[in-house]
Amino acid sequence: MRAIELAEYGGPEVLKTIAAEDPVPDAGHVLIDVAVSGIQSLDTYLRRGRWTDFFPTTLPYIPGMEAAGVVSAADDPSWIGRRVLASLPNGGYATHVVAPVDKVVPVPDELDLRDAMALLHDGSTALSLLEETPVQAGETVLVQPAAGGLGTVLVQLLAASGARVIGAARGASKLALVRELGADVVVDYSAPDWLSQVGTVDIVFDGVGGSLGQAAIGAVRDGGRYSNYGNASGSADGVTASGGISVRGIDQLGTFRTDNRGRILDLAAAGKIRAVIGRTWPLDQAAEAHRAVEAREVLGKALLIPR
């Protein structure tokens, strides 16, 4: 098989294409011929050696925590030929992966594999965020960044719930996408007066962190809620709050359920939510893909196509 190997921490250039033996599934596992691999922001942090205390890695390794394709081998023959998604500790940037069956989700026939891949992690996380910080119809909710893979799912789910959604992002193309997905108000948080356009909100879902996260929490009403799910700003500093604001930090991600992945796929198959795929790259261009993700050039989900 072909795969991307990470032998040392560093910039995107450390991602190298290698040839390796095809993996063989043990009992209770399946071999997947990968059609599409998902790229997470977390992949770029781990590549630089960040967050390895929470997500241990041993060099060298094949990065990638999500892959989709067709099962080609399994001890249970009922799996063979099925289109599936797999959640992985690593190994997803490859033409073949092995995954335990309890980490594999069948893809509905109505759903394209690329669309399903775009929703595997972000859709599951979005549902869990809304379980941990429930939103009532009529409440005003700020989502930032609203044009990323997770933000685009959150905006759609919140709009469908009857919330008043404010989507914050950077640049006209991203704001246009966020409005198209159902946001009532869009705000460019690179503008100096962006908070005045937000006003007061009941809830913030923040994947940026840093100074923008701290600014956003200042828009939350007394007794409101703030939920952090990422640090796209690159800052690991947490926010501080007053006025009885309930704060959920990024550590909540480690407690989220994973048995809701089928639910997000069913919503997509029924046409109630759509995947937003920003860009795709061949497997050999993983370094270029990481550069684009780190530069925040991608609207929605970034994908690698191994074949």
User: Which of 73, 86, 146 has its CA nearest to residue 116?
Assistant: 86
Is residue 54 very low, low, confident or very high in pLDDT (cuts 50, 70, 90)?
confident
Tell me whether the omega of the peptide bond preceding residue 89 falls within 30 degrees of 0, making it cis: no
Q: What pLDDT was estimated at residue 55?
A: 85
List the single range of 105-109, 186-190, 202-206, 248-252 with lowest mean pLDDT.
248-252
Q: What pLDDT was estimated at residue 174?
A: 95
Examine the pLDDT at 69 and tell me if it is beyond 90: yes
Q: What is the mean pLDDT of residues 142-151?
A: 94
User: Which of 112, 126, 117 has its CA nearest to residue 85?
Assistant: 117
**Residues forming a β-bridge with 144:** 206
Q: What is the DSSP string of 192-229?
A: TTHHHHH--EEEEEESS-HHHHHHHHTTEEEEEEEEE-
- The pLDDT tens digits of the residues spanning 220-245 come to 999 999 999 987 766 555 677 777 89
Look up residue 60 and give its amino acid.
Answer: P
What is the second-level CATH architecture of the domain 2-121+258-305?
Alpha-Beta Complex (3.90)
Q: What pLDDT was estimated at residue 257?
A: 78
- At residue 222, φ and ψ (nearest 5 deg) are -55, 130
Q: What pLDDT was estimated at residue 107?
A: 97
Pairing of strands 164-169, 201-206: unpaired
- The 10 Å Cβ neighbour count of residue 231 is 21
Is residue 27 very low, low, confident or very high in pLDDT (cuts 50, 70, 90)?
very high
Tell me the domain boundaries of the chain.
2-121+258-305, 124-255
Q: What is the mean pLDDT of residues 33-59?
A: 92
Q: Please tell me the distance from the alpha carbon of residue 287 to that of residue 296, in angstroms, as a whole number.
A: 14
Q: What pLDDT was estimated at residue 242?
A: 77
Question: Whole-number mean pLDDT of the chain?
Answer: 93
Q: What is the mean pLDDT of residues 76-99?
A: 96
From residue 291, alpha-carbon distances to 67, 190, 216, 286 in Å are: 20, 21, 27, 9
What is the second-level CATH architecture of the domain 124-255?
3-Layer(aba) Sandwich (3.40)
Is 137 in contact with 153 (CB distance < 8 Å)? Answer: no
Q: What is the mean pLDDT of residues 111-132?
A: 94
From residue 116, alpha-carbon distances to 53, 67, 109, 196, 289 in Å are: 30, 10, 11, 37, 19
